[in-house]
Structure 1
Amino acid sequence: MSIHVLHGQPTPEELATVLAVVQARAAAAQAAAEAARRAGAGPDSPWGDRARRLRLAARPGPNAWRTSGWAH
């Protein structure tokens, strides 16, 4: 990202202040987006998890009948 000064002659301190504010706002926006992603990341309960309905079928093999009822 680049910032261009269009008018005036800002001092190095003024530029540093502006860049610090822009960086802080960008970090806050990223943190808010991450928190929103985590909040809506999954179901409240395993019973409401739709992915659970898509589990793989039991594979044939020794003791397959025992493991067919296990949660995946």
Structure 2
Amino acid sequence: MDRPVLRIVRGDPTPQELAALLVVVLTRTEPPAQRRTAPGWADRQPLMRRPLRTGSGAWRTSALP
């Protein structure tokens, strides 16, 4: 037997109040949507700067591609 999603313990909510509460509860328990990945031609990763290197000689390599 399935457990109820909500149980009214006290008070007498209107059907509109109950519907609003049910919408909030169901949207909060819904799994997150899958993130869409961009196709290869729209990928902006090649345009991003590479991370800076630290250590000896780092100033020399900072000007080189």
Give the TM-score range, shorter chain. Answer: 0.3 to 0.5
| TM-score, normalisation: structure 2 | 0.42
Higher share in helix: 1
